[in-house]
Amino acid sequence: MSRGINLHDTSGLGIQVQRASQLGQVECHLQLAALAVEKGGFLTNTVRCVAWPALCGIGYNVPMEYLRTERPEKHNEYAQMIRDVDRSLWAYCKDDEKLLQSKRKSLLRIMNAILLDHPELNYYQGFHDVCSVCLMVCGEERGGSVAEYIAMHHLKHNMRCAFDVTELTLQLIFPLLSRVDPELHRHIMEAELYPQFAISWHITWLAHNIESLEQGFSRNLISLTCLPDVISCVHSCPTL
């Protein structure tokens, strides 16, 4: 039985996620994807803590290959990471300074480990926001593994030496927006805005911009492309 799942929840969602996580990777992904797009998604962080790693192909009871330990070596962007982390996690740790400092140390360990183990990835401001959500939903060890998977798959094009692929991806926003909200699209075109206005939404998975943050992450995780993330950016355009 998976730890952390309430098998007596009235929705039965915990049981469904538990059963799906025990299936083969393809069937597991299909079943969890179907649950993720239902109203409310996975509903609670307790359920997400099982569902997100399963979506990343990480077995719940399998020892992590990626143990989070304090490493003597630091990534060359470590100083910038510290500055970004020092502005992070306020919303998650309100009025608990001890918890805030503990989670910030965990966040630094996660990012430093990922970047040291994958030198082809480059740090950018905003990656810490993605890792923060993974940490606060899944804890340091499992959240770190989920963040590693996201970095290696969903965000890899953002972690190149340059943002050239990222900028190409943002070009999808205007064609999609023209279908979703033609009037808003017309106003944006008249204002001669460039799609770069949405770059922070894209590279952080809208970590600062949507109320149902965890549900947005769930929908991004079920996709093999950046399309759900771009569509989320489109739906955020009316907030401009």
The DSSP string of 37-91 is: TSTTTT-SHHHHHHHHHHHTT--TTSPPSS-----SS--TTHHHHHHHHTT--TT
Q: Tell me the CA distances in angstroms from 106 to 16, 27, 73, one per residue in order.
A: 30, 33, 16
User: What amino acid is encoded at 180 in this protein?
Assistant: V
What integer pLDDT is reported at residue 19 of this predicted model?
86
Instruction: Name the pTM for this structure.
Output: 0.82
Select from 1.10.1060.10, 3.40.50.740, 1.10.8.1310, 3.40.50.300 the CATH code of 78-156: 1.10.8.1310
Per-residue confidence of the chain (240 residues) as pLDDT tens digits? 344 444 445 358 888 888 888 888 888 888 988 888 887 788 888 889 889 999 888 865 544 455 556 677 899 999 999 999 999 998 888 889 999 999 999 999 999 999 999 999 999 999 999 999 999 999 998 899 999 999 998 898 889 888 788 888 888 888 888 888 888 889 888 988 888 888 888 888 888 765 566 777 888 888 765 555 555 555 556 555
- Report the distance separating Cα 47 and Cα 29, nearest Å: 15
- Report the distance separating Cα 128 and Cα 51, nearest Å: 21
Domain ranges of the chain: 13-55, 78-156, 164-239
Residue 158, both tokens: 């953002």
Residue 237, both tokens: 């355009």
3-state secondary structure at position 99: helix
